Amino acid sequence: MTGPLRIIGVPMDLGADRRGVDMGPSAIRYAGLGDELTALDYDPSDVGDLPVTHPEVGDPDAVEPATGHAKYVAEVRDVCTRLADEVSETLADGAFPLVLGGDHSIAIGSVNGSARDADIGVVWFDAHADFNTPATTPSGNVHGMPVAAFLGEGEFADSDWAPAGVDPSNVALVGIRSVDASERAALADSDVTVFTMSDIDERGITDVTEDALDVASDGTDGIHVSLDLDWLDPNEAPGVGTPVRGGVTYREAHAALERTAQRDVRSMEVVEVNPILDRSNRTAELAVELAASGLGKRII
Ligand SMILES: NC(=[NH2+])NCCC[C@H](N)C(=O)O
Ligand SMILES: [Mn+2]
Ligand SMILES: [Mn+2]
């Protein structure tokens, strides 16, 4: 890769229960993202943060708390529509879009933008499947729904949230260890490929990652990489709102992203860094390191 790269911040926390993840983009920037990318021979420019409404600021009636069982879904939709435009313009300008979250609901925007003029695959590094819909969600939080949304599952079927350029058979979830009963059933009915933590235990991170990358590459024009920091073990990444024990290690995460960088990666996002829950910005620093590995950084 290398070349022009655009950093797009999305200070979104309306999709998550734990406020504070809106500060993720700042924390990742302070952790030295720009310098790291420059050292890798990218030419990064930072477009700043997309505006996101907060219930505490201005007119509370301007923010719709919930539609049915999905909290703040109207606001999430608005932000994701603007993010999709930003990502697709970045690609059209010949630059690489690197999106900083924010909670994982923003992936609906990144994927829609990346898939606007191309067929893409998606590799989803996460503890969670994020495959709920407004009807099945146990929490009402839209960050538990983005994969279902961009694949047009359930109530998302009639929405414009599912771009034609993403086929479920090109979507691979990696490192999954927290799946709701409703998600388990829906995944079994779908063509999404799931690699759980058990697969990583048995086969090792390199083989599993290669398989996931094959799934996402097969017949597509490129891969969107979505990295939820709760993919890692909470000992390594404490600054996340929905930690789950038994995640990948520091070295497994780097190994996976180093493999990823050898493929045709078209767009990337790092999400769910919550500085309020973090310890001295450690999770944001990890996000920078892993983004660098995913963008081609090597030990030697
Ligand atoms: N992106 C995330 N951290 N998602 C967590 C989702 C947790 C749970 N499955 C839910 O739907 O509420
Ligand atoms: Mn997630
Ligand atoms: Mn997660």
Give the position, in ligand 1's atom list, of the atom nearest the Cα of 132.
11
pLDDT at 18: 77
Q: Give the per-residue pLDDT at 64.
A: 81
How many domains in the chain?
A: 1
104 annotated active-site: yes
Q: Give the residue, by CA position, lying nearest to ligand 1 atom 11.
A: 144
Using DSSP's 3-state secondary structure scheme, residue 129 falls into coil
CA of 262 to the centre of ligand 2 (A): 23
The whole-number average pLDDT for the span 225-232 is 99
- Residue 300 in domain: no
Establish if 57 belongs to a structural domain. Answer: yes
Q: Report if residue 103 sits inside a domain.
A: yes
Query: How confident is the model over 267-291, as a mean pLDDT?
Result: 98
The answer to whether 22 is a known catalytic residue is no
What is the domain range of residue 20? 3-294
What per-residue confidence (pLDDT) applies to 158? 83
Position 271, amino acid: V
Per-residue pLDDT reduced to its tens digit, 146-170: 999 999 999 999 888 999 999 999 9
Q: Is 230 a catalytic residue?
A: yes
- Atom 10 of ligand 1: nearest residue by CA position: 144
Task: Look at residue 194 and tell me if it is in a domain.
Answer: yes
Distance 167 CA to ligand 1 centre (A): 22
Would you say 174 and 216 are in contact if contact means Cβ atoms under 8 Å apart? no
What are φ and ψ of residue 127, in 5° steps? -75, -25
Predicted local distance difference test score (pLDDT) of residue 131: 98
Quickly state the pLDDT bin for 127 (edges 50, 70, 90): very high
Q: Which atom of ligand 1 is nearest to the CA of 137?
A: 11
40-72 residue pLDDT tens: 999 999 999 999 988 878 777 778 888 889 999
Asked about 272 being catalytic, the answer comes back as yes
Domain membership of residue 299 (yes or no) is no
Q: Tell me what pLDDT residue 220 has.
A: 98
Q: ipTM value of the model?
A: 0.98
pTM of the shown model: 0.98
Report whether pLDDT(257) > 80: yes
The total number of residues written for the chain in this structure: 300
List, chain by chain if needed, residues with CB within 6 Å of any ligand 1 atom.
104, 128, 130, 132, 137-139, 141, 143-144, 180, 228, 230, 242, 272
Instruction: Determine contact, residues 133/153, Cβ cutoff 8 Å.
Output: yes
Query: Residues annotated as binding site for Mn(2+)?
Result: 104, 126, 128, 130, 228, 230
Q: What is the percentage of the chain residues whose pLDDT exceeds 90? A: 92
Distance, in Å, from the CA atom of 141 to the CA atom of 59, rounded to the nearest integer, reads 22
**Residue 54 a catalytic site member:** no
What CATH number is attached to the domain comprising 239?
A: 3.40.800.10
Q: pLDDT tens-digit profile of 82-108?
A: 999 999 999 999 999 999 999 999 999
- 72-105: buried (b, 16+ CB within 10 Å) or exposed (e) per residue? bbebbbbbbbbbbebbbebbeeebbbbbbbbbbb
Can you tell me the distance from the alpha carbon of 119 to that of 187, in angstroms, rounded to the nearest whole number?
21
- Is the pLDDT at 173 greater than 90? The verdict is yes
Q: Please say if the pLDDT value at position 19 is more than 90.
A: no
Query: What's the average model confidence in pLDDT over 171-180?
Result: 98
Encoding tokens for residue 15? 């999709």
Whose tokens are 């310890």? That residue is 279
Is 109 inside any structural domain? Answer: yes
- Is 254 among the domain residues? yes
Q: How confident is the model at residue 1 (pLDDT cuts 50, 70, 90)?
A: confident
Decide if pLDDT at 200 tops 80: yes
